[in-house]
Amino acid sequence: MASPQVTTMVERTVTLGDGRTFRCPEGDTLLRAALRAGLPATYECNSGGCGACKYILSDGGVDQINPDATGLTARDKRKGKLLACQSVPLSDCAVTLTLDAEWPEGRTRPQVAPATVTAIRELTHDLREITVRTEDVADFLPGQFAMIAVPDPEGARPVERAYSMSNLPNGEGVWQFQIKRVPGGAVSPRFVDELAVGDVVNLDGPYGHAHLQANERDVVCIAGGSGLAPMVSVARGLAGRGDAASRRLDFFYGGRREEDMCAREFVDEVSPRLAHASLAEAISEEPSRDWVGSRGFIHEVLAVAEIPDLAERDIYVAGPPIMTDAVVRHLVLERHIPVDRVHFDRFF
Amino acid sequence: MAFELVTTLDDLWEGDMESFTVGDQEILIAHLDGGEVIATQAICPHQQIELVEGELVGKTLTCKAHLWQFDLPTCTGINPGHAELAKFPVKIDGEDIYVDPTGDTPKVAHS
């Protein structure tokens, strides 16, 4: 595969506490290089916010992409910890990095590839579905995300942000994202307002743990705002399974206003293939007289929804941090759902 | 192997917890309501998150990241039930809290 960031570059050697080594191409982060090498380093957001990839540097030098990343608390800093997702080795390094016991089954190693925008579709007033195409296959699990980067004329590194795929893995190299305009956001307006068919972005992925599980449990998807994309992918993945006709899906989507609601077409798309599919949409702001859906935050709607076998379901959650937090707290602390059944990647 | 003086009951009141580096171990000491003092691993067995940044209510510690919950007196998981925490030996001498950092090994769990 053509991957401009990892060819003809200087490579650093990174040595782990147990003596294993991996190579880190110049400019790549410790976390991504470990994952590309097939080492199951712990992480979640790959964006500096969650703190799951903390490590200790015992030898060598690293550059910090964002030294003030919120995933590192004052206590972590006192202890000399760093974030692997924000560390770019400047020399060979020795690190103490936490690894999972084994590489999770079914997950592909992330790769970098140029991707060309092939289609743009308006989903709502501020949400666009962007389709890009890579030369190689689009290999990921439903619910995972990728990093999309565009050159930054003013900065040393490209402007980059994590977006979840909304489609399913495929052999044609097609990746679909739903990109929302974030007021004041550095990256989103550029994607929403400026990206056009024919533009080339850098795509790096897949990443993420909150993907459709390979089991027979019925599913609940809970999405808020720009968290719709991965939940659509999970729903499509469920409908694409051989046992789809016996599977049940309850889908919740929360937004601010009626004009944000756009989940219906996706639930209608998967519903004929499933034993059951429901959609509950809710808006948090004052509705117009025509609004027949729920009013309130999505965790409040979930709290009164009748899903008697909720504790037996796999529950997928994606959305803004406050929403994800409220939903997961409701599920785990109030409903006592086993944490192993609640799947989410935290973004900040 | 050896108990080390880590803190005092005067610095760690009932209902409080704090994380310390003892020997080469990162250790959380919790002074539970009722007086029991527990020394456990400072980092959640799930990911690299400081447990001291979570919530301690009664004998239950909830990690801030994924809401994993632990029963501190037994150092076992409430949710998920398969999780465990290391439990380091504690000795109280007057006001002084001593911990043996070699008495256990931090546990790692995967969801």
pLDDT digits (tens, 9 = 90+) for A99-131: 888 999 899 999 999 999 999 999 998 899 999
Instruction: Name the residue of chain B whose CA is nearest to A81's CA.
Output: B48
| Alpha-carbon distance B47 to nearest alpha carbon in chain A (angstroms) | 6
Tell whether B106 is covered by a domain.
no
- A/B interface, count of CB pairs below 8 Å: 52
Q: Do B79 and A336 touch (CB under 8 A)?
A: yes
- How many structural domains are present in chain B? 1
Tell whether B104 is covered by a domain.
no
3 state DSSP class of A287: coil
Tell whether B35 is covered by a domain.
yes
Tell whether B30 is covered by a domain.
yes
Residue B83: what pLDDT?
Answer: 95
Domains of chain A, first to last: 4-97 (3.10.20.30), 111-207 (2.40.30.10), 219-343 (3.40.50.80)
Tell whether B108 is covered by a domain.
no
Assess contact for A347 and A49: CB atoms under 8 A. Answer: yes
Q: Do B21 and A79 touch (CB under 8 A)?
A: yes
Q: Do B48 and A336 touch (CB under 8 A)?
A: no
Q: Do B108 and A44 touch (CB under 8 A)?
A: no
In chain B, what residues touch A55 (CB-CB under 8 Å)? 48
Instruction: Name the residue of chain B whose CA is nearest to A42's CA.
Output: B47
Query: Which residue from A41, A7, A341 is spatially nearest to A207, judged by alpha carbons?
Result: A41
Q: Do B48 and A101 touch (CB under 8 A)?
A: no
Query: Which residue from B85, B83, B89 is spatially nearest to B102, judged by alpha carbons?
Result: B89
The whole-angstrom separation of Cα A201 and Cα A337 is 40
Tell whether B111 is covered by a domain.
no
In chain A, what residues touch B49 (CB-CB under 8 Å)? 51-52
3 state DSSP class of A74: helix
Q: Hey, what are B85's tokens?
A: 């925490």
The whole-angstrom separation of Cα A32 and Cα A57 is 16
- What φ, ψ does residue A295 adopt, rounded to 5°? -120, 130
Assess contact for A27 and A5: CB atoms under 8 A. Answer: yes
CATH number of the CATH domain containing B34: 2.102.10.10
- Share of residues in chain A with pLDDT > 70 (%): 94
Q: Respond yes or no on whether ipTM tops 0.85.
A: yes
Domain that holds residue B85: 4-99
pLDDT digits (tens, 9 = 90+) for B41-71: 999 999 889 999 999 999 999 999 999 999 9
Tell whether B37 is covered by a domain.
yes
